[in-house]
Chain A
Amino acid sequence: MGHRTLDFLFSPVDPPKPSAERKNPLAKDSTFDSDAVTALQDEFGEHIADVTLYANEHTVYVDRESIVDLCTFLKDRFGYVYLSDLGGIDRFTEEQRFEVLYSLIAMERGKRIRLKVRLDEEDPVVPSIYGVYPAAGWNERECWDMFGIRFDGHPDLRRMFMPEDFEHFPLRKEFPSLGIPGSLPLPSQTDDGEIVKDPFPAAHGSKPLRRTPFPE
Chain B
Amino acid sequence: MIGDFVPILVMFLIASGLALTFLKLQEWIGPKRPSRLKASAYESGMDPIGTARDRYSVKFYLVAMIFIVFDVEVVFMYPWAVAFGDFIQSGAGFGSLVVVTIFTVILLIGLLYDVKKGGLEWD
Contacts and interface: CB of A to CB of B under 8 A. Distances in A.
The answer to whether A binds B is yes
Interface of A: 191-198, 201, 204-206
Contact of B46 (A192, A195, A196, A206): A206
Contacts of A191: 35, 37-38
Task: State the majority secondary structure of interface residues on B.
Answer: loop
Contacts of A204: 46-47
B21 to A, nearest CB: 31
Interface in B69-89: none
A198 B49 CA distance: 12
Interface of B: 35-38, 40, 46-47, 49
Task: State the majority secondary structure of interface residues on A.
Answer: loop
Contact of A193 (B36, B46, B49): B36
A205 B35 CA distance: 25
Nearest to B50: A206
B47 A193 contact: no
Contacts of B38: 191
A180 to B, nearest CB: 25
A206 B47 contact: yes
A192 B38 CA distance: 10
A196 B36 CA distance: 10
A205 B47 CA distance: 9
A207 B49 CA distance: 9
The 7 A-B pairs at the shortest CB distance, nearest first, are namely A193-B35, A206-B47, A191-B37, A204-B46, A193-B36, A198-B47, A191-B35
A198 B46 contact: yes
